[in-house]
Structure 1
Amino acid sequence: MITLSDLNSCDSGTFVERLRGIYEHSPWIAERAAAQRPFNSVTALKQAMQAVVSAASVDEQLGLIRAHPELAGKAAVAGELTAESTSEQAKSGLHLCSAEEFATLHQLNADYNAKFGFPFILAVKGPTGQGLTRQRIIETFTRRLKNQRADEIAECLRQVKRIAELRINDLLGVALAFGPAIMQWAETIGAWSDDQDGLTCAYMTPSHRQTAAQLLDWMREAGMEAHIDAVGNVVGVYRAAAADAKTLMTGSHYDTVRNGGKYDGRLGILLPIAIVRHLHERGERLPFNVEIVGFAEEEGVRFKSTFLGSTAITGRFDPALLEQADADGVTMREALLAAGHDVARIPAIARNPADLLGYVEVHIEQGPVLLERDLPLGVVTAIAGSSRYLLELTGLASHAGTTPMSMRKDAAAAAAEIVLLVEQRCARAPSLVGTVGQLQVPGGSVNVIPGACKLSLDIRAADDAVRLAAVKDVLDGVAAICARRQIEYTLRQIVDAAAAPCAPRLMRQLGDAVERADLPRFELLSGAGHDAMEMAAITDVAMLFTRCGNGGISHNPLETMTADDADIAARVLLDFLRSYVA
Structure 2
Amino acid sequence: MPISHEQAADQAWQWLEAASRFSETQDPERDGVTRLCATQEHRAMLDALSEWMRGLGMTVRQDNGANLIGRHASWNAAARTLLLGSHQDTVPNGGKYDGIMGVILPLALIHYLRESRIELPFHIDVVAFSDEEGTRFSSTLLGSKVLAGTFDNTMLDAVDDEGTSLRQALIEFGCRPEAITGDAYPAEEVIAFIETHIEQGPQLELENLPVGVVSAITGIERHRLTVHGLAGHAGTVPMHLRQDALVGAARVIQLVDTLCQQTEDLVGVVGKIENAPNGVNVIPQTTTLSIELRSPDDAIRRQARQRLFEQIEATLAASGLSFDHSLTYEQPAVPCSAWLIQVLEGAVQDTGIEPRILFSGAGHDGLAMQALCDIGMLFLRCKGGVSHHPGEAIAPGDLTRALSVLENVCHRLAAHG
- Aligning the two structures, in what range does the TM-score lie when normalised by the shorter sequence? 0.7 to 0.9
After superposition, what is the alpha-carbon deviation per residue over 1:219-249, rounded to whole angstroms, capped at 9, x for unaligned? 2222211122222222111111222110111
Counterpart in the other structure of 1:497 = 331
User: Which residue does the alignment assign to 2:132?
Assistant: 298
Query: How much has 1:490 moved relative to structure 2?
Result: 5.4
**Aligned pairs (5 A) from 1:34-183:** 176-183=6-13
Query: Quick one: structure 1 residues 350 and 572, their matched pair in 2 at CA, closer, same or farther if it must change by over 3 Å?
Result: same
Separation of aligned partners in 2, 1:565 and 1:382: 22
Distance 2:148 2:291 in 1: 26
For 2:55, the equivalent position in structure 1 comes to 221
Aligned twin of 1:367: 201
Aligned residues of 1:375 and 1:547 also touching (Cα < 8 A)? yes
Secondary structure of the 2:7 match is: coil
Match in the other structure for 1:209 = 43
Once the two structures are superposed, residues 365-413 of structure 1 have per-residue CA deviations (whole angstroms, 9 ceiling, x without a partner) of: 2222221222212222222222235x37597997876895867785x65
Other-structure match for 1:567: 400
Partner Cα separation in structure 2 for residue 293 and residue 359 of structure 1 = 10
Residue 354 of structure 1 aligns with an amino acid whose one-letter code is: E
CA change 1:231–1:388 in 2 (3 A) is: farther
Letter in 2 for 1:492: T
Name stretches of at least 5 consecutive residues in structure 2 with no aligned partner: none
Deviation at 1:179, TM superposition (A): 2.3
Distance in 2 of aligned mates of 1:428 and 1:227 = 49
Structure 2 vs 1, CA of residues 486 and 521 (structure 1 numbering), >3 Å: closer, same or farther?
closer
Contact 1:312 1:350 in 2 (8 A): yes
Is 1:280 the counterpart of 2:114? The answer is yes
CA 1:211–1:442: 2 relative to 1, 3 Å: farther
Query: Cα gap change, 1:276/1:533 in structure 2, threshold over 3 Å: closer, same or farther?
Result: same
Q: Which has the higher contact order (CA 8 A, sep 6+)?
A: 2
Distance 1:208 1:515, change over 3 A: same
Question: After superposition, where does 1:244-259 map in structure 2 within 5 Å?
Answer: 244-259=78-93
TM-score (norm 1): 0.62
**Separation of aligned partners in 1, 2:285 and 2:177:** 40
Report whether the alignment pairs 1:541 with 2:371. Answer: no
Distance verdict in 2 for CA 1:342–1:385, change over 3 Å: same
Match of 1:311 among 139, 145, 151: 145
Alpha-carbon displacement from aligned partner over 1:285-330 (angstroms, at most 9, x marks no partner): 3210101111122223233332222122111122222223334444
CA RMSD in angstroms comes to 3.2
Q: Please say if 1:191 is aligned against 2:21.
A: yes
Counterpart-to-counterpart distance in 1, 2:276 and 2:36: 23
Higher mean C-alpha displacement, 216-225 vs 443-452: 443-452
2:167 to 307, 313, 333: 333
Report the number of matched residues.
404
Task: Choose 226-235 or 337-346, whichever is displaced more.
Answer: 337-346
Relative to structure 1, is the Cα distance of residues 357 and 331 closer, same or farther in structure 2, using a 3 angstrom cutoff? same
How far did residue 343 of structure 1 move?
Answer: 1.5
CA distance in 2, matches of 1:523, 1:296: 28
| Structure 1 residues 373 and 343: alpha-carbon distance in aligned structure 2, compared to 1, 3 A threshold | same
SS at match of 1:201: coil
Map of 2:97 onto structure 1? 263
Q: In structure 2, give the amino acid aligned to 1:552.
A: G
| 1:378 has 2:208 as partner | no
Secondary structure (helix, strand or coil) at the match of 1:521 reads: coil
Question: Rg larger in 1 or in 2?
Answer: 1
TM-fit CA distance, 1:485: 4.2
Identical residues among aligned pairs (%):
36
Residue pair 1:409, 1:486 contacting (<8 A) in 2 also: no
More strand by share: 2
Contact 2:230–2:242, Cα closer than 8 Å, also in 1:
no
Structure 2 counterpart SS, 1:573: helix
Alpha-carbon separation, structure 1, partners of 2:377 and 2:213: 6
How far off is 1:203 after superposition?
A: 2.8
> Given the superposition, is the C-alpha separation of residues 251 and 445 from structure 1 closer, same or farther in structure 2, using an over 3 Å criterion?
farther
Q: Distance in 1 between matches of 2:299 and 2:35?
A: 34
- CA distance 1:175–1:278, shift in 2 (3 Å): closer
When the two structures are superposed, what TM-score results if normalisation uses the length of structure 2? 0.84
> What residue number does 1:513 align with?
347
User: 1:429 maps to what in 2?
Assistant: 263
Q: Is the 8 A contact 1:414 1:485 kept in 2?
A: yes
| CA deviation string 1:3-25 (max 9, x = no partner) | xxxxxxxxxxxxxxxxxxxxxxx
* Cα distance, 1:421 vs structure 2: 3.2
Q: Structure 1 unaligned segments of length 5 or more: list them.
A: 1-173
2:411 alignment counterpart: 578
Q: Is the 8 A contact 1:239 1:285 kept in 2?
A: no
SS at match of 1:290: strand
- Counterpart code for 1:179: A
Structure 2 equivalent of residue 467 of structure 1: 301
Task: For 1:357 and 1:384, locate their aligned partners in 2 and report how far apart those are by CA, in whole Å.
Answer: 23
Please say if residues 252 and 295 of structure 1, whose CA atoms lie closer than 8 Å, have aligned partners that are also in contact.
yes
